[in-house]
Amino acid sequence: TAASEDLFRRALAVASGGVHSPSRSYAAVGGGAPRFMVRGEGAYLFDADGHRYIDYLSGYGAIILGHAPERVVEAVRRVAPDGLLFGTPTPLEVELDERLCQVIPSVDRVRFTASGTEAVMTAIRLARAFTGKTKLVKFDGSYHGHSDPVLVSAGSGFSTLGIADSAGIPPGVMEDVISLPYNQIEPLEEVLFRQGAQVAAVLVEPVVGNFGLVPPKPGYLEALVEQAHAAGALVIFDEVITAFRFGYGAVQDRFGLRPDITVLGKIIGGGMPIGAYGARAEIMDLVAPLGPMYQDGTWAGHPLSMAAGLACLEALREEGLYARLERLGRRLAQGLRDAAGRAGVPVQVHQMGGAIALYFTGEPVDDFAGCERSDSERFARFFRAMLQRGVHLAPSKYEVWFVTAAHTEADVEQT
C-alpha cells in the first residue's frame, strides 16, 4: 500500500543516514554496496572485504572481554552437545544465580530471562505486586528496553521514523508512568509528595548509560532511594549496562546503595542473550511458585547463556583487569579532548572505567536535555570519518564507546 511504501521509504532514509542502523551506515563509506561486518575477533571487527575496524560498539556494551574470547567460546562448545536442556533448571543456572548473589549484596535470588527488556518488565510487575500500587517513576530519555512505548526513550523505536507510537499501538500496560528529569531531586520530591501513595517503584539507571554516560551528581541517588522508601515505593536499579562494567559486581556497591530490585543483562551473558532480575528473598518469594516457562519465557536460563556468562564472570576476576580498563578509558578520553582542542571543536567527554561518551557541545551535560544539545550532524560526520579510518563506534550520539579487555594501548593510541 502507499502507506507501507512510505514507511519503508522513511525507514530507509533514516537507516542510510548512518546514525541509527549500524549495518546500513557502512554503505555511506565509499558510497558502494553496504558493508557488513562478518567476523569479530578481540577488539576488532572485519567486514566482508577483509577490512579491519577497531570496535568500540562492543555489542552495545554486551561484551567486555572482546569478541569471541577463547574461554567463553570453549565454555559454549562444552555445553552445546548436552542436548540444550532448557525449560528446566540446570546446574549452570543455579551456579550463575549463586555467583551473582554472592557479589551483589542486595539480591538473595536471581531469575533469568532472554533479554534485559523482559527483566525490566518483570521487575516492574514485581514492584506492583509487592506494593499493591501501580504508578512508575522513570527518567527522561532513559532506555529500559524495547517493550512498552512509554519505556522506550526518545531517539529510538518508532519515534526515529517520525511515527508516534500511539498511532499504531494500543495503550500498553504502562499507562501510569511519570517521567522526570534525571539528576534533579526536587521534581521527584514533588511527585512523591503528591502521588507517593500510588507509586509502586522508581526505576533508574544508577549511572545513565543510554543518553551517553551520565553519572549521578553527588548525593542524588542516596536522596532518590531515601525519598522513594519514605513514600513506600520500591527502588529498581536497571544495571543492564552498568553491572560488571566498572568493577566486579554491580555499580550500586560503589555508591553503597541497596536497591529493592536489580535488573541485569548484557555482560553477565558473556555475549549470549540474557537478562536477569534479582531482589531480596521477601520480594522474590512472590514469583517463587511460578515456573520459569510462563514467568520468564521459553529461553530463560538457556544453558548456552549460563555457560558463557559463568565463563565471562570467571575471566573478569583476573587481577588488575578493571584498573587496566580505567587506564585505557582515561587515555582515550584525554586523546579525544586533545584532538577536539586542536581542531577547535567544543566537546564534552565523559569517562568511567573503559566507558566513554563524547558530546559535541561546549555546555556541561548532566541530563537528557544536556545530551540533546550535542550536535547530531557533526556526530554523523564524525562517525563516518572514523569508520573510514578503521574505527567503529556506536552509531548514535547517545551511545557509549566501550573499551574491552581485548583493546591494547596501541589500539587506543591509533584511535
In terms of CB distance, is 25 or 115 closer to ligand PLP? 115
The residues with which 67 forms a beta bridge, in sequence order, are: 42
- The residue within the footprint of ligand PLP, chosen from 209, 249, 270, 329 (CB under 6 A), is 209
- The residue within the footprint of ligand PLP, chosen from 46, 60, 248, 382 (CB under 6 A), is 60
Of 65-84, binders to ligand PLP (CB under 6 A) are: none
In terms of CB distance, is 187 or 297 closer to ligand PLP? 297
Kindly state the smallest distance separating residue 143's Cβ from ligand PLP, in Å.
5
Kindly state the smallest distance separating residue 65's Cβ from ligand PLP, in Å.
18
- The residue within the footprint of ligand PLP, chosen from 58, 117, 179, 252 (CB under 6 A), is 117
Distance CA 201, CA 19 (A): 33
Nearest residue to 107 via CA among 297, 215, 236: 236
Does 212 bind ligand PLP (CB under 6 A)? Our answer is no
In terms of CB distance, is 141 or 275 closer to ligand PLP? 275
Kindly state the smallest distance separating residue 102's Cβ from ligand PLP, in Å.
23
Of 269-328, binders to ligand PLP (CB under 6 A) are: 275
- The residue within the footprint of ligand PLP, chosen from 18, 40, 69, 116 (CB under 6 A), is 116
Number of residues forming the site for ligand PLP (CB under 6 A): 16
Alpha helices in 36-153 (DSSP H): 58-61, 70-79, 91-103, 116-131
Does 206 bind ligand PLP (CB under 6 A)? Our answer is no
Cβ proximity of 330 and 413 under 8 Å: no
Distance CA 357, CA 209 (A): 9
- Residues catalogued as catalytic: 143, 238, 266
Q: What is the CA radius of gyration of the chain?
A: 21
Does 241 bind ligand PLP (CB under 6 A)? Our answer is yes
Does 227 bind ligand PLP (CB under 6 A)? Our answer is no
Which cell goes with 168?
A: 499504531
Does 205 bind ligand PLP (CB under 6 A)? Our answer is yes
- The residue within the footprint of ligand PLP, chosen from 183, 210, 348, 415 (CB under 6 A), is 210
Of 39-58, binders to ligand PLP (CB under 6 A) are: none
Alpha helices in 132-278 (DSSP H): 165-168, 185-195, 220-230
Strand ranges (DSSP E) for 214-303?
Answer: 234-238, 261-265, 275-279
Kindly state the smallest distance separating residue 5's Cβ from ligand PLP, in Å.
30
Does 188 bind ligand PLP (CB under 6 A)? Our answer is no
Burial, 197: exposed, middle or buried (Cβ in 10 Å; 0-12, 13-18, 19+)?
exposed
Bridge pairing between strands 348-352 and 135-139: unpaired
- The residue within the footprint of ligand PLP, chosen from 240, 268, 328, 400 (CB under 6 A), is 240
Does 265 bind ligand PLP (CB under 6 A)? Our answer is yes
- Give the Å distances, CA to CA, from 295 to 111, 301, 353: 10, 12, 35
Backbone angles phi, psi at 53, to 5 degrees: -125, 135
Distance CA 129, CA 400 (A): 34
Residue carrying C-alpha cell 578481540:
42
- The residue within the footprint of ligand PLP, chosen from 40, 145, 196, 271 (CB under 6 A), is 145
| Contact set with ligand PLP (CB under 6 A) | 60, 115-117, 120, 143-145, 205, 209-210, 238, 240-241, 265, 275
